[in-house]
Amino acid sequence: MKEIGHWINGKMVAGTSGKFADVFNPATGEVQARVALASVAELDAAVADAAIAQVKWGATNPQRRARVMMEMVRLLNRDMDALAEALSSEHGKTIPDAKGDIQRGLEVIEYCIGAPQMLKGEFTDSAGPGIDMYSMRQPLGVAAGITPFNFPAMIPMWKMGPALACGNAFILKPSERAPTVPLMLAALMKEAGLPDGVLQVINGDKVSVDAILDNPTIAGIGFVGSTPIAEYIYGRGCSNGKRVQCFGGAKNHMIIMPDADLDLAADALVGAGYGAAGERCMAISVAVPVGEETANALIEKLIPRIEKLKVGPYTSGNDVDYGPVVTAAAKANILRLVESGVADGAKLVVDGRGFKLQGYEDGFFVGPHLFDHVTTDMEIYRKEIFGPVLSVMRATTYEEALGYAMDNEYGNGTAIYTRDGDTARDFANRINVGMIGINVPIPVPLAYHTFGGWKKSSFGDLNQHGPDSFRFYTRTKTITARWPSGIKEGASLNFKPME
């Protein structure tokens, strides 16, 4: 059985804790590897080594750090196929989807090539008599990222790229369910020119997470995962004096207005609701058509599209629309929530409960489901299902539809489909959600804008990638310098202006 260890000081090392977790092939249900789970001592030792390596890396000028990012982009493009194969084998998503995962991470690395510009400070000449004032952005020191299974390439790169470009050392604790790609990324960073020890990849479970939260050397932590864990990490990390950004769960709504192009809207809902088996924090899981006529027409267009979806292993190539979910437990939870929807009175229009794939009966496949007449009191509405389940909630008016999204406890992403500019503008201005799509189903911003939700989808003041990432991974230092040039003043005990 293959054993996966850690990336420490520029090389793969075996774990020493004696604890392991199984890494499954989601398509077959078989265990394909065991990944080591680090002890507190292993984590602390990796952090100590990273702190030593960071001193020289932090003193490296931003342009040279940017050249590492530039070379990393080349290497990611070179190894795209190998990375996608490894990612799909552990996560289960299709190869095109895996390449999209990698590409969105690569774009953040591209953005980090601009580190010299992003790290420039401010300067005021002659702020007072003979006084100059300027600021500089300096690295935190050692930062850490705790990343989820559903984007094993993208989110680690969203975290490590800006952190490293800012001159920090970085401790990555990826999901133990999909550990291979983060280790491959670390090896590519070394090949790109990153010094040993500046990036450490520690595989682990809650023991490792708590060790990161409690380690006094780690100054900043980024997390992506479920809301309960986000709240836990944010609270414990902040109480230990760390800078923390945490991104949690979602329940993303799409409002479909009567004037919308329903074919476009239906295609968008199928892609956004069922892609990656629904295991995306930006998946659309709730469709809100306005008016009975709109709802009936939308359902009529959705049913044949959903029934035609092809579910299977990534090895089937382009013949598959989405693959299995990540674990047997995830599959069981999705099907439990489907049963609760039926019990609560929602109409199951497309029923995927009996889905079986010949030759892959033990795989973690879940057929597509479509509910109609869902209401806010139902568990399938209140919970993030994280599976191939789309719920339709009918609204009588635009205001009612808007209220569903605004009253929901999550605020990650949302969308509206309409031809009316006034409605779209009103929606964008009023909705209390962090990322908005107007005739765009999954409004994930490009790398040079910032990514982040509102309400219980996000904890912390700064978002991921874009300018916020450089703010998060640096501290601002402001210097006031005086060159008297013959000016003589006696001692003064008064607080006075410089001019």
Kind plus residue range of the DSSP H or E element containing 219: strand 218-224
Burial class for 482, CB neighbours closer than 10 Å (0-12, 13-18, 19+): middle
DSSP state of 319: G
Residues 6+ away with beta carbon under 8 Å from 493: none
Q: How many CB atoms lie under 10 A from the CB of residue 397?
A: 10
pLDDT at 495: 67
> Distance (Å, rounded) from C-alpha 103 to C-alpha 111?
12
> Distance (Å, rounded) from C-alpha 436 to C-alpha 415?
6
Please give the span between the terminal C-alpha atoms of the chain, in angstroms, as a whole number. 73
Taking 70 as the threshold, does the pLDDT of residue 77 lie above it? yes
List, as own/partner pairs, every contact residues 87-90 make where C-beta atoms lie below 8 angstroms and the sequence separation is at least 24, other chains included: 87/152, 87/153, 87/178, 87/180, 87/181, 88/314, 88/323, 89/25, 89/32, 89/180, 89/314, 90/23, 90/24, 90/25, 90/26, 90/32, 90/152, 90/177, 90/178, 90/179, 90/180, 90/181
Q: Tell me whether strands 142-146 and 169-173 are parallel, antiparallel or unpaired.
A: parallel
**Beta sheet of 123-128, edge-to-edge order:** 123-128, 131-139, 474-482
Give me the catalytic one of 112, 166, 246, 281: 281
pLDDT at 174: 98
Confidence label for 126 from pLDDT (cuts 50, 70 and 90): confident
Kind plus residue range of the DSSP H or E element containing 238: helix 227-239
Helices assigned H by DSSP within 240-366: 262-274, 292-307, 328-343
Taking 90 as the threshold, does the pLDDT of residue 49 lie above it? yes
3-state DSSP assignment of residue 2: strand
> Distance (Å, rounded) from C-alpha 361 to C-alpha 254?
34
What average pLDDT does the segment 172-196 reach?
A: 98
DSSP 126-185: EEETTEEEEEEEEE-SEEEEE--SS-TTHHHHHHHHHHHHTT-EEEEE--TTS-HHHHHH
Taking 80 as the threshold, does the pLDDT of residue 158 lie above it? yes
pLDDT-wise least confident of 31-40, 400-409, 450-459, 486-495: 486-495
Taking 90 as the threshold, does the pLDDT of residue 496 lie above it? no
As given in the structure block, the two tokens for residue 152 are 């094993």
As given in the structure block, the two tokens for residue 276 are 């990656």
pLDDT at 129: 84
The model's pLDDT over 282-330, given as tens digits with 9 standing for 90+, comes to 999 999 999 999 999 999 999 999 999 999 999 998 889 999 999 999 9
Domains of the chain (ranges, CATH numbers): 2-248+457-479 (3.40.605.10), 252-438 (3.40.309.10)
> Distance (Å, rounded) from C-alpha 163 to C-alpha 32?
32
Q: Could you tell me which residue, 1 or 373, shows the higher pLDDT?
A: 373
Kindly report the backbone phi and psi dihedral angles of residue 466, in degrees, each rounded to the nearest multiple of 5, phi listed first. 70, -170
Burial class for 134, CB neighbours closer than 10 Å (0-12, 13-18, 19+): middle
Q: The whole model's pTM is what?
A: 0.95
Taking 80 as the threshold, does the pLDDT of residue 490 lie above it? no
Confidence label for 61 from pLDDT (cuts 50, 70 and 90): very high
**For 179, what's the count of Cα atoms within 13 Å in the CB-facing half-sphere?**
28
112 is catalytic: no
Confidence label for 483 from pLDDT (cuts 50, 70 and 90): confident
pLDDT at 186: 98
The model's pLDDT over 88-125, given as tens digits with 9 standing for 90+, comes to 999 999 999 999 999 999 999 999 999 999 999 999 99
Determine contact, residues 179/79, Cβ cutoff 8 Å: no
The model's pLDDT over 208-256, given as tens digits with 9 standing for 90+, comes to 999 999 999 999 999 999 999 999 999 999 999 999 999 999 999 999 9
What average pLDDT does the segment 437-441 reach?
A: 96
**Mean pLDDT of all residues belonging to the chain:** 96
Determine contact, residues 412/434, Cβ cutoff 8 Å: yes
In 356-418, the DSSP E strands lie at: 369-372, 389-392, 410-411, 413-417
pLDDT-wise least confident of 56-60, 142-146, 448-452, 481-485: 481-485
